[in-house]
Amino acid sequence: MSYRLIFTDQYTKRAARFLKRHPDLEKQYLKTLQLLELNPHHPSLRLHALSGKLNALHSVSINLSYRITLEILIQDEQIIPVNVGDHDAVY
């Protein structure tokens, strides 16, 4: 089963700023998005639910330092990226 990524305008702007600051991560970032569409539960993504004020969201890893926070609608097979950045920026 594959999922569909739905990009909001707000996320697209955040991602563009992130990639402008970290052009060296573009390949890893795109690979993370591709894998997320194919299998969001793939072990390398380290998908996990968040708690506290972000309890409606999940997070996946681009690498050890950078994350993407997500809203996952399992019943509709949709994934909506919310934010991208380092640990402190997205949490």
Q: State residue 87's pLDDT score.
A: 80
The model's pLDDT over 20-62, given as tens digits with 9 standing for 90+, comes to 999 999 999 999 999 999 999 999 999 999 999 989 899 999 9
What is the CATH number for 10? 3.30.2310.20
Q: Which domain holds residue 33?
A: 4-90
The Cα–Cα gap between 68 and 31 comes to 12
**Would you state the pLDDT for residue 75?**
67
Burial class (CB in 10 A: 0-12, 13-18, 19+), 36: buried
| Number of domain units in the chain | 1
Higher per-residue confidence, 91 vs 9: 9
Q: Is the pTM of this model over 0.85?
A: yes
